Amino acid sequence: MRHAAILCATPVLASAVACRALAAQMFLGFGGLEARGGVADAKAGGSSATFEADLGYAFIPALRTTLGIDFFGSSIDREVSGERVGGSMQGAGGVASLRYDAFAQRQFGLHVAAGVAIHSIRTNPDDPSAKDSLGGRHSGLQFGAGVSWRIGGGQFWSATADVRRVAERDVGRTLITVGLRYSIRGRRMYDRDDVPAVTPTPSSPASGR
């Protein structure tokens, strides 16, 4: 009887392990890193740098989850409370996004991304009354699109370029960047069956003896 119980439980345990492996493959399974740099604001200029980690896919392999940090500095050239304000600002923060990679296993691909961003911004405006509106903590949405050129047969490295809009009140900006992406599994990161599933097989009547 003890042997029968063990044999009956084995397929259940195998299924649980397989499900856990597939879940790790879908989310919180490290997929790679990306670094980008470029213009902090298409209108005011400046510079920006972003570092992102790929945390695996959500629902389908082409839909990637990313978490990153970014830094920027630019001139201020905007209207606040009806008044034109100049000066400078610097910020740092974090971004959590979903990125969809079209043509995922081809040499050239397209991607669209959307997520949420939060930043701490320091400002030096030429109008002191605008300091509170421009400085401090800001949160909002980030969305954009870009292209990638995957290098080599294994596609472990990709050169990327994209344009993203950061929609934060009073400090909204458009980022134009280029970068380099490293994928730890290369083109295999887009294979849904990278971790094989285990199908339970019923035990034969003889195994219970």
- Which pLDDT tens digit goes with each residue over 115-166? 999 999 998 888 787 787 888 999 999 999 999 999 988 899 999 999 999 9
What would the DSSP string read from start to end of 2-57? Answer: HHHHHHHHHHHHHHHHHHHHHHHHHSS---EEEEEEEESBTTTB-EEEEEEEEEEE
- Residue 182's pLDDT is what? 97
What digits encode the pLDDT tens for the residues 79-111?
777 778 888 899 999 999 999 999 988 999 999
Where in the chain are the domains? 1-27, 31-191
- Average per-residue pLDDT for the chain: 82
Q: Which residues of 60-73 are buried (b: 16+ CB within 10 A; e: fewer)?
A: ebbebbbebebbbb
Amino acid identity for residue 9 in this structure: A
One of 1.10.260.40, 3.20.20.120, 1.10.10.10, 2.40.160.20 is the CATH number of 31-191, namely 2.40.160.20
**In this structure, what are the phi and psi dihedrals at residue 135, rounded to the nearest 5 degrees?**
-90, 175
Question: Of 185, 30, 181, 188, which is closest to residue 111 (Cα–Cα)?
Answer: 181
